[in-house]
Amino acid sequence: MSGNTITQPATPAVSTKPTPSTVAPVPAGATGATVSQSRAARELVLKRGEFDLAVQLGCVRTIVDDGGGGSRVARSEIDRLRGEQGFPEMLRERVKAVGTTAGAELLEVTTAKFTRFARLGLIAPVRFYLNRYRAVVWLYLAEELRQFKADEKNTHLLKGRIPEELRKRLDAGLDLRPRNWRGRHLGFLLRQTEDPWARAAASASLLDPLQVAEIVRDPYERAYLNRHRPARADQATPESPAARITASIMTADDPDEIEWLRADVRQSLAEARTRRAAPRPGGEKPRPPGKARSAHDTRHETRLVVAARPAPHLPNSEPRPEERRPHGALRPAPDLPNGVRRPERHRPTTHDAPERRGLLGWLRRRHP
């Protein structure tokens, strides 16, 4: 995806120092046990994107709404975060995401060198989006970049040249940004649920549908996985160019990654089947996992059905197959009472018989 990636332009820094009216006060009459995510974002002085990232990173804990209204935030969780020292700037710094230009400034390197670090997997993106030119813009956590800079093991990379071996991998087209994002995104999804079917669906969402069909043979289980499939990371129109680019980022393409995800789906499915089976119409029992219907089984079941089917009812004028006489055999004449003459058998003429075609019919008409 390096061909679709651009560098963000530099933007002036915006001060996040709160003013007396910055921190939204909690209403005195708010006594509910939970609040919606939009209200929690307002009370924590976070934009909606920052709040979603805080939930994914585990900075804000959510609970599942029993009424099916999505995740909510407990009032006690909001009180805990508001009571931390340095609120709200400390919380906002933990979820601050920057682009390539701002990230290069934090590391005090060029944007080209910063991009090489990201492609090598030394720093992992936390989010991405497509701009109006359908180019991929990667975002990174500012806190992780500061930690990368403070680590003495990375000093030679920041101050000197990138080793020759790593440069060869870059020249070969190495770009680990999509894979690192997928790994981080999968961690986000797994932290948000304990349901085994949802965990299996999270891993399956990063695989190609054909890969999922090879692992999950049962169509009802595949449908149940799709029901628990997490929402897409974008809101692009299906089958649009933007949707295809996003799908390519969200689909594993490395053989090692694909094999790891397939193994994770199998393990999660095995656990999910023990917890509860996928729903089926009419109370049909699930087929044992890994037991696929073969062509031999299908032919054997067909023979059993035909053998068990009763013989069809035939009219009196048509004998049953087992009662049919050999070709040329005469039916024995029934006994008649005395004085009753047997009616003469009517022999059809050429006018009565249907017209015969071919040489044999023409000879029979000339020599009746």
Q: Judge whether residue 190 has pLDDT over 80.
A: yes
Is 160 in contact with 166 (CB distance < 8 Å)?
A: no
* Lowest-confidence region among 38-42, 58-62, 96-100, 354-358: 354-358
Mean pLDDT of 182-203: 93
Domain ranges of the chain: 2-9+98-178, 34-71+78-94, 194-278
Q: What is the pLDDT of residue 305?
A: 39
Q: Residue 192 is encoded by which pair of tokens?
A: 């948000």
Q: What is the pLDDT of residue 307?
A: 42
Q: Residue 111 is encoded by which pair of tokens?
A: 């944007």
Look at the block and give the residue holding tokens 């990636």: 5
CB neighbours of 55 closer than 8 A, spacing ≥ 6? 37, 62, 71, 192
Q: Judge whether residue 335 has pLDDT over 80.
A: no
Phi, psi of 124 (to 5 degrees): -110, 135
Q: How confident is the model at residue 323 (pLDDT cuts 50, 70, 90)?
A: very low
* Alpha helices, H only, 276-329: 295-308
Comparing 366 with 144, which gets the higher pLDDT?
A: 144
Q: What is the pLDDT of residue 83?
A: 94
Closest CA to 108 of 79, 148, 138: 148
CB neighbours of 232 closer than 8 A, spacing ≥ 6? 246, 250
Q: What is the pLDDT of residue 110?
A: 96
Q: Judge whether residue 302 has pLDDT over 50.
A: no
pLDDT tens readout for residues 131-151: 989 999 999 999 999 999 999
Q: How confident is the model at residue 24 (pLDDT cuts 50, 70, 90)?
A: very low
Q: What is the pLDDT of residue 252?
A: 96
Q: Count the residues in the chain.
A: 368
Closest CA to 135 of 6, 297, 222, 226: 6
CB neighbours of 148 closer than 8 A, spacing ≥ 6? 107, 122, 123, 154
Q: What is the pLDDT of residue 314?
A: 44
pTM (2 d.p.) = 0.68
Q: What is the pLDDT of residue 233?
A: 63
Q: Which helix (H) or strand (E) holds 80?
A: helix 75-82
Q: Judge whether residue 366 has pLDDT over 80.
A: no
CA separation, residue 92 to residues 57, 106, 215, 217, 284 (Å)? 12, 17, 42, 46, 52
Q: Give the highest mean pLDDT range of 55-64, 275-284, 299-308.
A: 55-64
Q: Judge whether residue 315 has pLDDT over 50.
A: no
